[in-house]
Chains A and B, each alone.
Chain A
């Protein structure tokens, strides 16, 4: 997170972050365009295969605008993208934006679920370990290490073995939309969310513990104690409130990481979300779709950063009232 971007009152922060976001989106889209132009072969080749005539290639190139110089192609794409048209999937022929819209709710459920679960559990463990001494603190360190070294896709597979195959408590794979059945929706999300959360829980708990220990050792907490503040007030009102800035930072970072994590969770649990869409379109070399999903992920990261920055100004009176 860029500390240089979080000075000044909320409006200014939002404006600055939006400027940054615009640049980020441009960079990612230009990047994907340049990479694409460097690759041998093109969409016409992908669509027509190798058995078409040269005239057919040229005609399709023209139709897709692929005969134009690369910067013009980019501006055409950009113009369309701003209007919500991200092109058409080479593989399925469907509009990219439509496919993304269809799959977005699945990924959002997954990411928001994992974020909620890991924030609540992580902050809880962090606070307890800060207040209750070293043994739990060491436990958090071990948990963080395990969460870091065990790949989420491996955890996902093992969760299926334990909870779906052996215990048969939860479905192994698949997704039930919220509208079809809220309880089944929840049940279909438990294991994917759990597979993504272990690392997040550990990271959030670790940060919470460190931030809490810092605050609990501060002069103002010592004076609040000396003048009779209650234990609960020390831990929650003074402690957690002041520790919240680094905690929000780490939650923001975890949210960005979770977007990447959807790729694995959705693949293992066969969830029809953006992550599995990205993997499938990459396996099919469906470039417009890959590009669209990438832009969509970047947009979400921009949004997460924006929320984090607004949370900063909201949580830190020095930024709000400066």
Chain B
């Protein structure tokens, strides 16, 4: 919840909810339908007297199909179906109202008290709620009806009591969410009574959640009312009810199958109106709670769009990314997140990519494997790996590359392991797939791999689950898994970020060792300059979706040629003197879509001049093989 939203008066929120709900055509038609049903329930028994007590109609016209005289036909006793349907509306609506009044009357106060007071009242209430969920609702209601025959209020009140726990739960959790909101605290501090605060401030705010649940439960109550009437337990004959009319219809199913349709559709449409109303109310409610959130799209990897082919540059590199562009679809159109990025790495080399979060480093790695999150798409450039452009490979072809030729380890190794499978099983799966070995060989190989990443007790680790490992062990396991296919390139996405400093060093040592013994290239992404300086031979610095500097590790460390690199180096805690205030870079990385014209670092740069904002800054290649995206490179060199 944002601060601005927290300050917003709850009463205002309440009226906004109603107004927004009424803006939805679906909600309006559902409400209109329910109002009509309610009116029919009130008027029909008055306008059509005698129907309720009518035992038989015209016995010469039984089981008739719909006609002008009888719009919905007649039943087995010659009574008009439409008249009975209209008159039977009342008993249905009254039953629903009885249940709803009870479940709101019990559920809302108990839920508010449990959420607002907490403590032992809350515990007892939730315990009773759990108990109530295990009670067979319809069975208990039938028990009640066997004691109080055809007593609808008794049945529907019982049903209301049994359904109330659902309201208790919803009200309680909605109350918990706002119990400690600033305006509630303010009210409490100013000495207002708990009852006043709850009724004035809490109740309006939880009403959205309650309305959603009540409209759903109204549908449930209607279904139960119709069901009990269908079982002849609720409404004494000959009075019509929707459920009872379905029962009448089933008695003559063989000769007059039409008869179950009018009451069946009346039940279904009314339940539909209640549940659709609930659905729309939920949408409106969540919209209000998080106004800025856009609907989450779970995109699949869509076919890359046609874009101008980038000519291949002759290269001896193992992997060569050239002019890579990645964009995401948003409501405002496509937003570029990675812009013309070129990175290369040779066989057996360890190369770093450094930059703050949000610079596009991880996206670049994801693009290499064809695993861009959400609706991300490669919109330009090429990714050459062993003579193939990965950008244009099919999903099937990419599956042949993942793990076998290019593997990935990531930041939080623990959540990167399947929590439900033993470590050994997760390794064996990949070993078998990559090597085609049988189960037994794969099992032995899995233990070997765990030993290769220097896990002290590989057999025991293989039998463990992820939650039984420490963070460092989990990252070793993740590395072992990445080695399963003997890849020639390992992508390491912030592999040490979540770890203690001593463990970090061990993991980096391990990566360096594996790279040299296996001749495996490692592309290491990090925001931590220390990690990069420790192991990398060359470094790419990224900022706002661009590479801003590229050089071998030592020169860039000694004399950075981009103000951003320099600022990053100064902000590295390892280089600061003890007792000195830590340097940090003022400002934040601009989000994709908010990049300025010209140099993207200008707003945070100490040496920016007016021409930095004029046009896109190109990457300048320097004679010593370095490159930088800064107009003031001479000053930087000086």
Contacts and interface: CB of A to CB of B under 8 A. Distances in A.
A165 B257 contact: yes
B227 A224 contact: no
Contacts of A149: 219, 267-269, 271-272, 275
Contacts of B415: 218-220
A231 B399 CA distance: 9
B233 A5 contact: no
Interface stretch (A57-65, A120-128, A234-242): A234-242
A157 B139 contact: no
A302 B135 CA distance: 9
Interface string A270-299: 000000001101110111001101100110
A279 B130 contact: no
B50 interface: no
Nearest to B129: A2
B404 A228 contact: yes
A226 B416 CA distance: 11
Q: Report the contact-size class of chain B (Cβ under 8 Å from the partner).
A: 35 or more
B131 interface: yes
Interface string B139-169: 1101111111100000000000000000000
A321 B465 contact: yes
B138 A260 contact: yes
A237 to B, nearest CB: 7
A305 B144 contact: no
A301 B249 CA distance: 32
A287 B144 CA distance: 10
B196 interface: no
B115 interface: no
A51 B419 CA distance: 72
Contacts of B144: 35
Interface in A128-170: 133, 145, 148-151, 153-154, 157-158, 160-161, 165
Interface in A27-59: 27-28, 31-32, 35-36, 38-39
A233 B429 contact: yes
B140 A264 contact: no
B250 A268 contact: yes
Contacts of A218: 415
Contacts of B399: 228, 230-231
A225 interface: yes
A263 B231 CA distance: 9
A263 B433 contact: no
A12 B506 CA distance: 40
Contacts of A70: none
A217 interface: yes
Interface in B402-430: 402-404, 407-410, 412, 415-422, 426, 429-430
A153 B230 contact: yes
Given A226-B407, A227-B402, A281-B146, A154 B260 contact: yes
A178 interface: no
A228 B243 CA distance: 56
Contacts of B465: 317-318, 321
B527 interface: no
A228 B434 contact: yes
A31 B429 contact: no
A224 B146 contact: no
Interface in B97-139: 130-131, 133-139
Contact of B139 (A237, A263, A264): A263
A190 interface: no
A260 B231 CA distance: 13
Contact of B371 (A38, A222, A321): A222
B433 A279 contact: no
Interface stretch (B19-27, B187-195, B477-485): B477-485
Nearest to A154: B264
A95 to B, nearest CB: 19
Interface string A237-258: 1100110000000000000100
B140 A154 contact: no
A28 B140 contact: yes
A5 B300 CA distance: 38
Contacts, number: 219
A39 B300 CA distance: 62
A2 B402 contact: no
Contact of A2 (B130, B219, B417, B478): B130
A259 B219 contact: no
Interface string B238-270: 000001001001100110010010001001110
A109 B441 CA distance: 46
B518 to A, nearest CB: 16
A2 B126 CA distance: 9
A35 B271 contact: no
Nearest to A223: B416
A220 B419 CA distance: 8
A72 interface: no
B149 A219 contact: no
A223 B410 contact: yes
A15 to B, nearest CB: 16
B143 A282 contact: yes
Contact of B419 (A24, A27, A31, A317): A317
A317 B420 contact: yes
B440 interface: no
Given A151-B264, A157-B250, A229 B134 contact: no
Contacts of B482: 227
A4 B138 CA distance: 26
A78 interface: no
A224 B371 CA distance: 11
Contacts of A293: 139
Contacts of A315: 420
A226 B408 contact: yes
Contacts of A94: none
A220 B149 contact: no
22 contacts: A1-B133, A20-B131, A27-B131, A27-B135, A35-B147, A36-B147, A149-B269, A151-B264, A157-B253, A157-B264, A219-B415, A223-B416, A224-B418, A229-B429, A230-B433, A237-B421, A264-B230, A283-B146, A290-B142, A290-B143, A297-B139, A298-B139
